[in-house]
């Protein structure tokens, strides 16, 4: 294997590290995959990069070469010690020992922009798979001032995030991603590119944040709540899923709305476009 494989083995041995499965620790050991992530992220010296879960610093090392500033957020104390030693000469490196889901990213971004004078922020990460969805949802829903997210995630989730709303693999999250971003698949990654190997297949994807949401909504909260309910019972038709939910919308009312919009009453949630969902919610 490659240079990073040797580096990873060396660092793990030097510090007596074994991967903590509970923290989703699957370290990248494939130079080509790291290059792919860095290239896809299109980082320049004008950018602040926020890396989630730097681990032993394999990806971080490359990010530091390309970016004007790298702020890494890592939960595992053992990694903090390694990263501080490994990158102590890098003046544009900063590490936060915290749970990314608890960090006030909005405040962090404003602060780093002021401190560095840099204007663009990009997220890059080989994410811990046990919390992929909450992390992506947080990054989108908090309406952060970021340009893009280039992330390695499990293939199954990647398929849903990059699907077009109404496509076969749509889930509730497909609509959220589409609303805020333009998603694209970068590359599927084999399990042997990690140490230890994950139990599921992986893929690098990139989300370019839209300047304006994909559609105009009167009430975002209501819209996304409706979609969530529609996808809770995937096998049911939209009509049954909604009228059997706690939304207090009768079957007759739902039938009438669908008819008025010219939508088949037997349709399932995942077959609807984002615009169709928006018109239904508006009519209700």
List residues binding ligand SAM (CB under 6 A): 23-28, 52-55, 58-59, 73-76, 79, 99-101, 126, 128, 131
Instruction: Indicate the residue among 100 and 241 with the shorter CB distance to ligand SAM.
Output: 100
Per the rule left: phi > 0, alpha: psi between -120 and 50, beta: everything else, 42 is: left
Q: Of 55 and 171, which has the nearer Cβ to ligand SAM? A: 55
Position with the least CB separation from ligand SAM: 53
Name the token pair of 64: 């530091």
CB 207, CB 161: distance < 8 Å: yes
Question: Rounded to the nearest whole angstrom, what is the least distance from the CB of residue 98 to ligand SAM in the complex?
Answer: 7
At residue 188, the 3 state secondary structure works out as strand
Cβ atoms of 147 and 50 closer than 8 Å? no
Complex with ligand SAM: residue 135 or 241, whichever CB lies closer: 135
Report, in Å, the least distance between residue 110 CB and ligand SAM. Answer: 20
d(CA 174, CA 157): 10
**Comparison of 52 and 173: residue with beta carbon closer to ligand SAM:** 52
User: Taking the complex as a whole, how short is the minimal distance between the CB of residue 282 and ligand SAM, in angstroms?
Assistant: 37
Task: Using alpha carbons only, give the angle 8, 95, 70 rounded to the nearest 5 degrees.
Answer: 85
Nearer to ligand SAM, 23 or 263 (CB): 23
| Strands of the sheet with 69-74, listed across from one edge | 93-97, 69-74, 47-52, 120-126, 148-154, 202-209, 181-189
Place of tokens 């494989």: 5
Cα torsion for 253, 255, 257, 260, to the nearest 10°? -140
- Print the SS3 string covering 214-280: CCCCCCHHHHHHHHHHHHHCCCCCHHHHHHCCCCCCCHHHHHHHHHHCCCCCCCCHHHCCHHHHHHH
CB of 161 to ligand SAM, least distance (A): 17
- Between 75 and 177, name the residue whose CB sits nearer to ligand SAM: 75
Tell me the closest approach of the beta carbon of residue 115 to ligand SAM, in angstroms: 21
Whole-number minimum distance, CB 72 to ligand SAM, in Å?
A: 9
Q: Which is nearer to ligand SAM, 58 or 237 (CB)?
A: 58
CB of 119 to ligand SAM, least distance (A): 25
């Amino acid at each position: 294997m490659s240079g990073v494989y040797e580096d990873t083995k060396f660092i793990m041995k030097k510090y007596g590290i074994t991967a903590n499965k509970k923290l989703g620790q699957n370290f990248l050991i494939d130079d080509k995959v790291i290059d792919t992530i860095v290239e896809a992220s299109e980082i320049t010296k004008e950018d602040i990069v926020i890396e989630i879960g730097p681990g032993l610093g394999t990806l971080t090392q490359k990010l530091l070469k390309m970016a004007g500033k790298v702020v890494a957020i890592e939960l595992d104390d053992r990694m903090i010690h390694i990263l501080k030693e490994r990158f102590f000469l890098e003046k544009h490196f900063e590490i936060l020992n915290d749970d990314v889901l608890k960090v006030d990213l909005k405040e962090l971004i404003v602060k780093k922009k002021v401190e560095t004078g840099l204007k663009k922020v990009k997220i890059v990460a080989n994410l811990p798979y046990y919390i992929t969805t909450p992390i992506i949802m947080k990054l989108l829903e908090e309406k952060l001032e970021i340009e893009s997210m280039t992330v390695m995630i499990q293939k199954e989730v990647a398929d849903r995030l990059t699907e077009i709303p109404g496509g076969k693999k749509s889930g509730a999250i497909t609509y959220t991603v589409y609303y805020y971003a333009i998603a694209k698949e970068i590359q599927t990654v084999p399990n042997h590119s990690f140490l230890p190997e994950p139990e599921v297949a992986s893929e690098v994807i990139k989300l370019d944040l839209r300047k304006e949401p994909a559609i105009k909504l009167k009430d975002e909260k209501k819209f996304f709540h409706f979609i969530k309910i529609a996808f809770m019972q995937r096998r049911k038709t939209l009509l049954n899923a909604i009228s059997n939910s706690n939304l207090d919308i009768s079957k007759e009312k739902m039938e009438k709305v669908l008819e008025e919009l010219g939508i088949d009453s037997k349709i399932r949630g995942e077959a609807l476009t984002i615009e169709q969902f928006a018109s239904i919610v508006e009519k209700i």
